[in-house]
């Protein structure tokens, strides 16, 4: 059973997941690239994953049998989950420390049946199926009253933490609201309390007026380089209207279109870099008008620099690229 | 001029340092290993660095001319500093955003004249010269009233962010107290307010009583695996007595001895892993009895796993090794 443990100094929780490789020699070598023949995410290999939870099937397929080909997007439980769905949380003290059981959900969203295709190479309609799967899983997992937060994220490329090459995203549901999210919620709330306006909405307005950090936009969404990015070419994608909840956003066609475009721009500009993206959304199963100050968004972080002692020690980040320059490179990328 | 920029949502400051490589192609390839012939940190190559700031000279050398051989530890300004020593801070607003000039100090502590030696291979007396250099530079930089924090850190190995192979540490002085440090200061203060005891002192007492996470100790210092580590084999080294200020600690002989021992244990157990370490110390040029609740310490983080989308999105860390297991491996390492 994995455990959640809380640092007694700054309140940071960590997951102790000893099943995932605990001996020193486990860290010695990187696992080799999976060939498509053995890839558990490839079409035809459905038996290599736990049974599927959700699929978007291909339009020409009728009466598809679960865990067989015919899917376009397929969601399965992570075979090596960081958190487990079964059990009680049992929050408790150990001397001066605090801990609880590692209850949660950890799912994999297989974005395409094709081993060779990256997310940015899918057509907008296919990307829309992926974000639809995100939404459906969030809606479904919200029904579990133990969960307080559901993070959708993607690790693309080995340097960004992907252990399998086949294009996929992940989702982790946690029984507590994570620290990093709490910071954003608190910040949004304080700004709202002061201005009676959403801080993200204000950022979007100012960026649209100035233009220098805007990368691309459509009617409903905008992609921009944030004013104070942690990483070179860090990019945020936000709904232009004030929307606290990703899962209540009905403009998924427009979202898929802009997400595909910004990923293409990053791929062209930086030669298909490894990257992480994550959806910052409001917590689930929480009430309170506070939450209405939040504005969901996607943060995309190409993995170009190394996080080292200074960043770990301070929470400061050293970013070698001005966001205004990054935005210009990305705007000018030829994605035709 | 590099800039400090503040994220308006959670108050995180970043350094925008566009001189350090801003074009997309700059990120494409890792720089090659420096051979010792061209190494700017090697003895005999003193002219390849900016003029030295401080040295510990070899005991048999008399009347050494600055920037020539004869040193054992040599401190020089970083040739590509993240922050600059000259100028005014000029804190100012840009629309809704906040920024200031990137004023600070960025120095390199060359730990040995020998290109082939790693820090853990130095004898305790040589390591004592290194920590003495840390202390001297902190004492000296504290005289600059612009600075609020001085972080000493080390990146060992390319995967941990080291760009030069020759063993060295770094020091960055910043005009604001970093977020990560503020969190620890606040946490210590809240605990002290509640218990009238130092949280680090209480941790040391509990760990010594239980033993399972203690790795090694001497009269004055203890090395332990923290209860809630972010990373596998994360190790903390703390003075056993309550001490807020590293630079006022006079037990550097004992510190050097235990630091050398724990680095040897990590090297044997994990085959000389890349790692980061950093000294968390009290801020400088700040007054207030609050600070007396803090307890300086070293955090050592072997670079064994990748930080990916989940960690960036949540501030949660997934750690695959129980600290009790890590402590056992490190205790049992044969360092004879």
Locate A157 and state its tokens.
């490329």
Show residues of chain A in contact with B312, CB under 8 Å.
153, 180, 276, 278, 299, 301
The boundaries of the domain holding residue A167 are 3-332
Is B175 touching A (CB cutoff 8 A)? no
Name which residue leads in pLDDT, B336 or A74. A74
Residue B57 inside a domain? The answer is yes
Q: Lay out the sheet containing B105-110: strands in order across.
A: B54-57, B71-77, B105-110, B168-174, B149-156, B275-280, B297-302, B235-239, B221-224, B214-217
Q: What is the C-alpha to C-alpha distance for residues A43 and A57, in angstroms, rounded to an integer?
A: 12
Report whether pLDDT(B67) > 80.
yes
Residue B268: predicted pLDDT: 92
Q: What is the C-alpha to C-alpha distance for residues A177 and A285, in angstroms, rounded to an integer?
A: 11
Residue B27 inside a domain? The answer is no
Complex ipTM: 0.88
Mean pLDDT of chain B: 88
Residue B291 inside a domain? The answer is yes
Catalytic residue status for B295 = no
Burial status of residue A186 (CB atoms within 10 A of its CB: 0-12, 13-18, 19 or more): middle
Residue B88: predicted pLDDT: 83
Locate A117 and state its tokens.
């295709």
Residue B141: predicted pLDDT: 97
Q: Which of B106, B120, B166, B168 is catalytic?
A: B168
Number of domains in chain A: 1
Task: Give the orientation angle of helix B323-332 with respect to helix B252-270, to 10 degrees.
Answer: 100
pLDDT in tens, B195-244: 899 999 999 999 999 999 999 999 999 999 999 888 889 999 999 999 99
- Cβ B160–A320 below 8 Å, yes or no? no
Residue A96: predicted pLDDT: 86
Domain with residue B85: its CATH number is: 3.30.428.10
Q: Which are the contacts of A197, defined by CB distance < 8 A and separation ≥ 6?
A: A191
pLDDT interval class at B21 (50, 70, 90): very low
Q: H helices of chain B, where? A: 124-141, 179-195, 199-210, 252-270, 309-314, 323-332
Is A190 touching B (CB cutoff 8 A)? no
Residue B14 inside a domain? The answer is yes
Nearest beta carbon to residue A18 from set B170, B270, B322: B322
Other Cβ atoms closer than 10 A to B271: 11
* Tens-binned pLDDT, residue by residue, of chain A (336 aa): 455 566 655 655 555 554 444 455 555 434 446 577 789 999 999 999 999 999 999 999 888 999 999 999 999 999 988 888 888 888 888 888 888 888 899 999 999 999 999 999 999 999 999 999 999 999 999 999 999 999 999 999 988 999 899 999 999 999 888 888 888 998 899 899 988 999 999 999 999 999 999 999 999 999 999 998 888 899 999 999 999 999 999 999 999 999 999 999 999 999 899 999 999 999 998 877 666 889 999 999 999 888 889 989 988 888 888 889 899 999 999 998
């Amino acid at each position: 059973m994995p455990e959640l443990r809380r640092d007694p100094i700054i309140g940071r929780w960590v997951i102790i997941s000893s099943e995932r490789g605990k001996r020193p020699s486990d860290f010695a070598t990187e696992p080799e690239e999976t060939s498509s023949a053995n890839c558990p995410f490839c079409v035809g290999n459905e038996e290599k994953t736990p049974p599927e939870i959700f699929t978007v099937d291909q339009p020409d397929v009728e009466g598809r049998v679960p865990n067989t080909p015919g899917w376009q997007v397929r969601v399965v439980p992570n075979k090596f989950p960081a958190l487990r769905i079964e059990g009680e949380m049992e929050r408790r003290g150990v001397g001066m420390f605090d801990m609880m059981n590692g209850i949660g959900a950890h799912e994999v969203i297989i974005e395409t049946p094709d081993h060779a295709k990256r997310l940015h190479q899918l057509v907008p309609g296919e990307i829309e199926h992926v974000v639809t799967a995100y939404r459906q899983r969030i809606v479904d997992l919200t029904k579990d009253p133990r969960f307080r937060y559901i993070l959708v994220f993607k690790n693309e490329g080995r340097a960004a933490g992907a252990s399998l090459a086949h294009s996929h995203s992940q989702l982790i549901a946690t029984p507590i609201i994570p620290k990093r999210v709490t910071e954003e919620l608190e910040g949004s709330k304080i700004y709202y309390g002061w201005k009676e306006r959403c801080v993200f909405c204000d950022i979007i307005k100012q960026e649209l007026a100035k233009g220098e950090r805007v990368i691309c936009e459509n009617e409903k969404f905008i992609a921009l380089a944030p004013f104070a990015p942690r990483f070179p070419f860090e990019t945020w994608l936000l709904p232009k209207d004030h929307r606290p909840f990703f899962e209540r956003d009905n403009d998924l066609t427009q979202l898929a279109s802009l997400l595909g475009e910004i990923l293409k721009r990053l791929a062209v500009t930086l030669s298909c870099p490894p990257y992480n993206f994550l959806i910052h959304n409001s917590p689930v199963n929480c009430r309170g008008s506070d939450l209405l100050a939040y504005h969901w968004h996607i943060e995309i972080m190409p993995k170009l620099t190394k996080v080292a002692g200074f960043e770990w020690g301070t929470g400061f980040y050293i970013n070698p690229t001005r966001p205004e320059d990054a935005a210009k490179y990305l705007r000018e990328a030829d994605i035709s």
